[in-house]
């Protein structure tokens, strides 16, 4: 029986910080527990709302002093002397003297926003990577690799399209040692996704795909817990691929999937 999740453990699951065995337990429970699934989806919705609607706050005056103390910004120039005959000129000089400060504050704010967005995206990718590994391990251990077993994409694609709210690309890979086993419906990132399953030599490769609003991005490859991971976005679809095959063969598989999806 899977122990109940408290708020701290639920947040750790959202951030991909649970141990692999516990992550698998929670993933399995999500498919059966509508209440828990609603909590997870609510937390994901809150995260997205914060990203989209977070308020912007101007940098405080104390930040200027701190940056000057660190040597990041130069100290402000002495205020110009004002004569009775050059009031408008001195006002203009004061404005232009403040322009570097305004630009610096703007630059700091932009850097802060960019850093926050990068950290949020990095955290999301880390969480998704953990979900992908957990799904791969679960499917491998339970021997539930496919819902529809066929080496023909003309068979697998219509079946998946009928079960999902989108039509996934289903490439057959023309590379040595690769066999297309079929596909299944899985659950990642709070939604049903297509899982395409290949056998590369003696190793299983899971390729997950679902719609995204993100712009196209290059393939990013990493290694976690003894597994090779790759993810990218192309043509309105997000792709995640995972396997325990060696890095060279994994790179070949990923490249073949990417090329096949682009019609090459």
What is the reported pLDDT for 204?
96
Structure tokens at 14: 């959202």
Query: What confidence category does residue 178 fall into, taking pLDDT thresholds of 50, 70 and 90?
Result: very high
What is the reported pLDDT for 1?
43
Per-residue pLDDT tens digits for 60-88:
666 666 666 666 555 565 555 545 555 55
150: which residues sit within 8 A by CB, 6+ positions away?
156, 180, 182
Mean pLDDT of the chain, nearest integer: 78
Confidence (pTM): 0.57
Nearest to 20 by CA among 135, 104, 109: 135
Structural domains in the chain plus CATH codes? 1-75 (no CATH), 142-264 (3.30.200.100)
The listed range with the strongest mean pLDDT (22-36, 42-56, 59-73, 234-248) is 234-248
Per-residue pLDDT tens digits for 227-257:
999 999 999 999 999 999 999 999 999 999 9
The partner residues of 234 in beta bridges, in order of sequence, read: 237
């Amino acid at each position: 029986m899977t122990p109940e999740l408290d708020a701290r453990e639920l947040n750790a699951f959202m951030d991909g910080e649970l141990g692999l065995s516990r992550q698998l337990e929670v993933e399995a429970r999500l498919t059966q527990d509508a209440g828990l699934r609603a909590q997870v989806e609510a937390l994901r919705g809150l995260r997205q709302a914060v990203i989209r609607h977070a308020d912007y706050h101007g940098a405080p005056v104390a930040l200027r002093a701190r940056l000057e103390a660190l040597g990041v910004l130069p100290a402000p120039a002495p205020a110009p002397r004002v004569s009775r005959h050059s009031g408008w000129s001195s006002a203009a000089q004061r404005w232009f003297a403040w322009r570097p400060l305004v630009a610096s504050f703007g630059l700091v704010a932009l850097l802060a926003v960019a850093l926050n967005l990068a950290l949020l995206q990095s955290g999301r990718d880390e969480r998704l990577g953990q979900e992908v590994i957990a799904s791969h391990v679960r499917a491998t251990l339970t021997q539930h690799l496919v819902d529809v077993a066929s080496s023909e994409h003309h068979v697998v694609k219509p079946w998946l399209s009928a079960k999902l709210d989108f039509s996934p690309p289903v490439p057959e890979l023309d590379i040595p040692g690769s066999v297309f086993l079929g596909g299944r419906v899985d659950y990642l990132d709070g939604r049903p996704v297509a899982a395409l399953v290949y056998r590369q030599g003696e190793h299983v490769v899971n390729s997950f795909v679902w719609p995204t609003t993100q712009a196209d991005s290059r393939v990013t490859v990493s290694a976690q817990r003894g597994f090779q991971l790759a993810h990218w976005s192309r043509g309105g679809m997000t792709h995640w691929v995972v396997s325990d095959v060696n890095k060279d063969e994994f790179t070949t598989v990923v490249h073949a999937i990417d090329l096949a999806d682009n019609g090459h």
